């Protein structure tokens, strides 16, 4: 039962990541790319959690935590760059 759920979960997350990648590479404006990257980070969190469930190992949870925090900072930096250019005013 869990296996089937995991398969569906993986398929969904991978599809989502593929779509993010497409938008990142194709997105006509820079803002599109930044949003795609941020969403890619979130999907990566989901992927890590699915992997942890499959391997029944809690050891990777901190990586997910780090992506959550660090992805946020990365997106801030990109947004500030696109907004005013100067990151640290």
Partner 1 sequence: MKLLLIVLLPLAGIVLPPVLVRAGRTASAWAAATPTALALVLLAGMAPTVFEGGVVEASWPWMPALGLNLAFFLDGFGLLFAGLILGIGLLIILYARYYLSEDDPMGRFYAMLLAFMGAMLGIVLSDNILLLVVFWELTSISSFLLIGYWRHRADARQGARMALAVTGAGGLCLLAAAILLGHVVGSYQLQAILAAGDTITASPLYLPILGLVLLGAFTKSAQVPFHFWLPHAMAAPTPVSAYLHSATMVKAGVFLIARLYPALSGTEEWFVLVTVIGLATMVFGAYGALFKDDLKGLLAYSTISHLGLITLLFGLNTQAGVIAGVFHIINHATFKASLFMSAGIIDHETGTRDIRKLGGLRHYMPVTMWLAAIAAASMAGVPLFNGFLSKEMFFTEVVVESERLGGIGWLLPVFATIGGLLSAAYSLRFVHDVFFGDETGALPRHPHEPPRYMRVPVEILILICVVVGVVPSLAISTVLATAAGGVLLQAPEPFSLALWHGFNVPLVMSVLALAGAVALYYQRDAAERWHERTFPAFTGKGCFESVLAGAIAASRRLTAWLDDGSVQRNVVLVIGTAVVMAAAGGITGGLDAGSRALTPAPLPAVAVWLMGVIATVVVALRHHDRFLALVATGVVGLLSALTFIYISAPDLALTQLSVEVVSTVLLLLALNVLPKETPHESSPGRRWRDGVLAVAGGGGIAALAYAAMTRPLDSISRYFLETSVPGGGGHNVVNVILVDFRGFDTFGEITVLGIAALCVYALIRDEAHTMASADTEARHPRMLLIGSRVMLPLLAVVTVYVFLRGHNQPGGGFIAGLIAAVAMVTQYMASGVHWTEQRLTGNYFPMIGAGLLTAGFTGLASWLFDVPFLTSTFSHVNWPVVGDFEIASAVAFDLGVFLTVVGSVVLMLSQFGKQQPPVEGR
Do residues 50 and 10 make contact, with C-beta atoms less than 8 angstroms apart? yes
3-state secondary structure of 41: helix
Query: Which one among 33, 42, 46, 53 touches partner 1, defined by CB under 8 A?
Result: 33
Q: Which is nearer to partner 1, 1 or 88 (CB)?
A: 88
Q: Is 35 in the site for partner 1 (CB under 8 A)?
A: no
Query: Which one among 2, 5, 34, 53 touches partner 1, defined by CB under 8 A?
Result: 34
User: Which are the contacts of 81, defined by CB distance < 8 A and separation ≥ 6?
Assistant: 87
CA angle at 73 for the pair 17 and 81, rounded to the nearest 5°: 95
Q: Is 56 in the site for partner 1 (CB under 8 A)?
A: no
Q: Which is nearer to partner 1, 1 or 69 (CB)?
A: 69
Q: Is 63 in the site for partner 1 (CB under 8 A)?
A: yes
Q: Is 87 in the site for partner 1 (CB under 8 A)?
A: yes
Do residues 81 and 58 make contact, with C-beta atoms less than 8 angstroms apart? no
């Amino acid at each position: 039962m869990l296996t089937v759920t995991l398969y569906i979960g993986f398929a969904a997350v991978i599809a989502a990541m593929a779509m993010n990648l497409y938008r990142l590479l194709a997105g006509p404006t820079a803002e599109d790319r930044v949003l795609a990257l941020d969403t890619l980070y979130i999907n990566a969190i989901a992927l890590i959690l699915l992997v942890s469930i499959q391997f029944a190992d809690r050891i990777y949870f901190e990586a997910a935590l780090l992506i959550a925090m660090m992805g946020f900072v990365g997106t801030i930096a990109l947004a500030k760059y696109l907004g005013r250019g100067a990151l640290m005013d």
